[in-house]
Each structure stands twice: as structure tokens, then as C-alpha cells.
Amino acid sequence: MGLLDCCARCLIGAPFASLVATGLCFLGVALFCGCGHEALTGTEHLIETYFSKNYQDYEFLIDVIHDFQYAIYGVAAFFFLFGALLLAEGFYTTGAVRQIFGDYKTTICGRGLSATFVGITYVLAIIWLLVLACSAVPVYIYFSTWTTCNSIANPSKTSASIGNLCTDARMYGVLPWNASPGRVCGQSLLSICKTAEFQMTFHLFIAAFVGAAITLVALLTFIIAATYNFAVLKLMGRGTKF
């Protein structure tokens, strides 16, 4: 019975919402960072192979891609540490809430720390919402290209001439307007869409977008659980000052 009591106490004090949120957070960040990094590498190769032969045209783009890739490493490390801290905070506050009428006493410092985590996570969720919106941009660009390729492959479904169906990287701000050729049309574009590199890069961007969405759901779950626990501690806890 002693072992069973110990297991029961551990289960009672387990922050299930925080555990789920931590799992979602690690999964989402892994998808976003891993797939996003490889998708940026694929985009770099596609641009320099098909859309511009002059390095000066896409030199700035290459620098931006490399900066984003370095930032991805930082994002992965930050979320690993922050997720671990939120999980530890979830164990603390959940245990306090579930034993609020027992001998367990929460401190004002502890409640202040919980409130701090709620505020930080709220701000981080707002920032990550912008990241989610930005990660949708390359998905839209690749989807538009893929749709154009479908129109080229099925000319009976469009009234436009196949030679006039193009994807212009300059139109999306990927390349400067003086880049040459800057765009690919007709059968040349269709051949690009059929390459394994294009298909892989497209699906990697989709996976990165899904990962960003999963991370946002995890942050919102953290906020809900932490806010509930803090509210209970604030209203019903017996604090000791120090």
C-alpha cells in the first residue's frame, strides 16, 4: 500500500495540462525548426538554380536565409529551456492547488513567480502569433506556384496561354526587380514543379507552418493552465510572507 499511495500522490500532483502542453511545445518547435531550416536551404538552391544566374541578385536573400537559420537554432534552445521551466512551474502550482486545504503553504514569492510566467507566456504567445503568420507566407508562395503548374499541366482548364503562366520571384520580393530572368514560365516552370526538390521544399514549409501552429496551441494551453492555478492560489491560498 505504501508504494500505491506514493504512486497515487504522484498522479494526483501531476500537472496533466502542463505535460500535454510541454509535449506539444517540443513537437511543434521540432517541426518548425527542423523543417523550416531544411525548407530555407531548398529555397536557396531553387532560386540560384532556376530564377537567377547572377549572384548579386540573390546575395541579400542568401544572407537573410542564413540569418533565419541561425535564429532557428536560438529558438529551439530557448523553447527547450522555457518549456522545461513551465513544466516545473506546472508541477509546483498544480501540487499547491490540489493540496490547498491541507498543510501545503504557498508563498507570496511563489505566487509572484507564477504570475510572472503567465505574463511571459502571454507575451510570447502574441509574438509567436506573428511567427505563425510569417510562416504562412512561403506556404502561400509555393502553393501559388503549384497551382500555376497544375494549370500548365491541364491547359483545358484555363483560358490563358501556357507561355503566359509564370511564377515571378520578383513579385513576392524574393528577388530585386532588376534580377534576370527573375521568373519562369510555361513548360520550364512545370519541369521545376515536378522536381523532387520543389515537392520536398513545399511540404517542408507546410510542416513548419503546422509546427508553428502546434507551438501556439501549446503556449495557449500553458496560459490557461497557469492562469487557473494562479487564480486559485491567489484567492484561496494561505501565503506566508518573507
Name the pairing type of β-strands 106-107 and 239-240. Answer: parallel
Q: Is residue 147 part of a domain?
A: yes
Closest CA to 61 of 81, 41, 75: 41
Name the residue with cell 525548407.
39
User: Percent of the chain beyond pLDDT 70?
Assistant: 79
Give domain status of residue 103, yes or no: no
119/95: higher pLDDT? 119
C-alpha cell at 156: 483545358
Q: Structural domain tally of the chain?
A: 1
* 31-35, 103-107, 116-120, 157-161, range with greatest mean pLDDT: 31-35
Element (H, E) at 209: helix 196-236
152: in domain: yes
Identify the band that residue 139 occupies on the pLDDT scale cut at 50, 70 and 90.
very high
Rg (CA), the chain: 25
Q: Domain for residue 3, yes or no? A: no
Give the DSSP letter of residue 181.
Answer: B
pLDDT value for 165:
85
Residue 55 has pLDDT above 90, yes or no: no
The confidence score (pLDDT) of residue 238 equals 46
Q: How far apart are CA 85 and CA 83, in angstroms?
A: 5
pLDDT at 235 over 50: yes
The count of other CB atoms within 10 Å of the CB of residue 140 is: 12
The 10s digit of each residue's pLDDT in 56-99 is 888 888 999 999 999 999 999 999 998 888 877 777 665 544 55
Decide if 56 is inside a domain.
Answer: yes
**What pTM does this model have?**
0.83
What value, to the nearest 5°, has the Cα angle with vertex 26 and ends 35 and 67?
Answer: 45
Between helix 108-153 and helix 186-193 the angle, nearest 10°, is 130
**DSSP letter (8 states) at residue 90:** H
Peptide bond into 181 cis (omega under 30): yes
Q: What percent of the chain has pLDDT over 90?
A: 37
Q: How far apart are CA 242 and CA 236, in angstroms?
A: 19
Whether residue 8 is contained in a domain is answered as no
Q: Are 96 and 237 in contact (CB under 8 A)?
A: yes
242 domain-assigned: no
Domain with 85, as residue range(s), is 18-98+108-237
Least trusted range by pLDDT, from 131-135, 156-160, 233-237: 233-237
Q: Which helix (H) or strand (E) holds 107?
A: strand 106-107
201 within a domain of the structure (yes/no): yes
**AA identity, residue 52:** S
- Give the pLDDT of residue 144: 92
